[in-house]
Structure 1
Amino acid sequence: MSKSLNVVVWSKEGCHYCAEVKQFLEEKQVDYQTIDVTNHDERRDILEAKYGIRHVPVVEIGQNGMYEGVTEIGISHLEKVLAPYLQTN
């Protein structure tokens, strides 16, 4: 995995979908950072400002200063956005 690939998972405690996303990334050997929104409404405010949503998980994937947010629920959406990065690294 390229060191310039940055993945951030916005999640909360007890979120089944969040756990699935993290497990998928670990299986693909993709390093990621977590931003926990549990008891942090100000972090949900950031999601609302960026994407117009307050739910998690949200996965931000970026390289060379360009980021794309995956806001749809389901691994298939994450796979689609992540695939080009996995092919080039």
Structure 2
Amino acid sequence: MTLAFGHQLAATWLELHPEASASQVVEFLEEQSLRARLAAAEVYVATGKTSEEEALALLEYESRSYRDLMRNELSTGALNLPTAGAR
């Protein structure tokens, strides 16, 4: 679901900004990612699960780990996405 949302977000933004460069698209998506991570940190803190500093550190660690995993999979050509209809 997250991948589909990201794709639709980027596609819609490009429809609204057809002259945008690739770096502008990446910048927009990075801004949206930051907003989502901050909202997640706020939820962690509001539910009393962690402090704000711990929540931000955890989300940053998860983001970097996920990016490392994506980099590895994309560089080897082995992006493991579920097939259509798989759950």
Same structural fold, with TM-score higher than 0.5 when normalized by the shorter chain: no
Higher helix proportion, which one? 2
Q: TM-score range by the shorter chain?
A: under 0.3
Name whichever structure is richer in strand by fraction.
Answer: 1
State TM-score, norm by structure 1.
0.24
- Find the structure with the greater CA-based Rg: 2
| TM-score where L is the length of structure 2 | 0.24
